[in-house]
Amino acid sequence: MTSTSGKWPVETFSLELDDLLSELRRRHWTLIRWGPQDAPYLVAAIFKWQMCADVLILRGETAATAYRVPTLDDAEIFSPTGVSYQYHHSPLWALRSILSLPAPGAPGAPVGMETPKQPECSVPENLPRPVVVRPLSPYAR
């Protein structure tokens, strides 16, 4: 994802990560990309529930964040003041984490609020204008 030039690498994902990204498409997540398609600066995915959103931010080959945020104000999705869940690890583990999170209100779903780790739970303001793909196509690769 982040190469020495600060952009997404041209190399392909591992098979397991590719499978999990396909699962995002199957579940109709929204993808947001900052920068060109072949070398984005940052990629995020969102799934909106009724009162919250699950967010995945892919920052590089070894850095990703997953979190659940209340959606009282959509402006706070990428700059939350509180989250009910957060996980910071590699893209593969962050993606596994957010896809296995129980639906809001389901047994085992996070209910408490905590302070989001910064800057991991936010998107920098100085990025290029984002491109939104809604929802992810099951046929995209």
Residue 55 has pLDDT above 90, yes or no: yes
Range of the domain at 77: 15-104+111-133
In-domain check, residue 139: no
pLDDT tier for residue 9 given thresholds of 50, 70 and 90:
very low
Whether 123 is covered by a domain: the verdict is yes
23-32 pLDDT, tens digit each: 888 888 998 9
When mean pLDDT is compared across 2-16, 52-66, 71-85, the lowest value belongs to 2-16
10: in domain: no
| Domain contains 1 | no
Q: Is the pLDDT of residue 52 over 80?
A: yes
Predicted local distance difference test score (pLDDT) of residue 139: 56
Number of domains in the chain: 1
Whether residue 2 lies inside any domain: the answer is: no
User: Read out DSSP for 61-115?
Assistant: SS-EEEEEEE-SSGGGTTS-S-BSEEEEE-HHHHHHHHHTSPPTTSTT---S-BP
> Residue 38: inside a domain, yes or no?
yes
Q: Would you say residue 28 lies in a domain?
A: yes
- Provide the CA 77 distance to its chain's centre, in angstroms: 10
* Percent of the chain residues past pLDDT 70, beyond the cut: 81
Q: In whole angstroms, what is the distance from residue 77 CA to residue 62 CA?
A: 22
Q: Which among 93, 100, 92, 114 has a CA at the least distance from the CA of 47?
A: 100
Residue 26 lies in a domain: yes
